[in-house]
Chain A
Amino acid sequence: NAGVMQNPRHLVRRRGQEARLRCSPMKGHSHVYWYRQLPEEGLKFMVYLQKENIIDESGMPKERFSAEFPKEGPSILRIQQVVRGDSAAYFCASSPRRDRGDSPLHFGNGTRLTVT
């Protein structure tokens, strides 16, 4: 997990508040992926971003969730008006290129969101 930095590690929000999760990819990586791990479930793909572009958001819930990866700064996953069902671990991963090449996907240690 070295290199992909996520913060905060733990985030507590009350229902209706906004949650912002940040991800800084490994040095030299320009592609970021967000995955969600719900309790007792496997990791599920949410969104794939390149700098200033959303490439694939087929796994993102249609409402309240958004993601960005600006030219400067970390990638942000934003959840508006959080509900209890949003409580999960959110993982970010990065890659150096669009195609797989010989480089596997490396994950950060995640942000654990708890909605009270």
Chain B
Amino acid sequence: GESVGLHLPTLSVQEGDNSIINCAYSNSASDYFIWYKQESGKGPQFIIDIRSNMDKRQGQRVTVLLNKTVKHLSLQIAATQPGDSAVYLCAENSGGAGSYQLTFGKGTKLSVIP
């Protein structure tokens, strides 16, 4: 979920298990949401996105769920692998279709135990 203070929340999962990473967003006017994966020393890598007119979207091994009522976003990773270990960032876009000005959360660190 969203971090409070200086330390990232950490999620440790066993290899092969499913992971669920949560994110609370702040702006009820946001209409577009993205999940990024950031490995150490690298830039954010796009995983999956969802628009506010949807509540679920599936990709390869990943599913994003959007609950606009409580302003909550989650990322589910099926059959988690060691290569999934990274910081996961959620981002919201409240600037409308004419803007990519994203607001990012601080992220959640996923550690996969082999």
Contacts and interface: CB of A to CB of B under 8 A. Distances in A.
Interface of A: 1, 4, 6, 31, 33, 35, 40-45, 48, 56, 58-59, 91, 93, 95, 98-100, 104-110
Contacts, number: 66
Interface of B: 6-7, 32, 34, 36, 41-46, 49, 89, 91, 93, 97-107
A42 B104 contact: yes
A98 B98 contact: yes
A19 to B, nearest CB: 18
Contacts of A56: 99, 101
B43 A110 contact: yes
A107 B44 contact: yes
B100 A33 contact: yes
B6 A40 contact: yes
A109 B101 contact: no
Contacts of B44: 43, 91, 107
A100 B102 CA distance: 12
Contacts of A35: 102, 104
A105 B102 contact: yes
Contact of A95 (B42, B45, B89, B100): B100
A44 B91 CA distance: 11
A95 B98 CA distance: 12
16 contacts: A33-B100, A33-B101, A40-B6, A42-B105, A95-B100, A98-B98, A99-B97, A100-B98, A100-B99, A100-B100, A105-B102, A107-B44, A109-B41, A109-B42, A109-B43, A110-B43
Nearest to B3: A42
Most buried by A among B6, B34, B44, B100: B100
B31 to A, nearest CB: 9
Given A106-B46, A109-B42, A99 B98 contact: yes
Given A104-B46, A108-B43, A42 B106 contact: yes
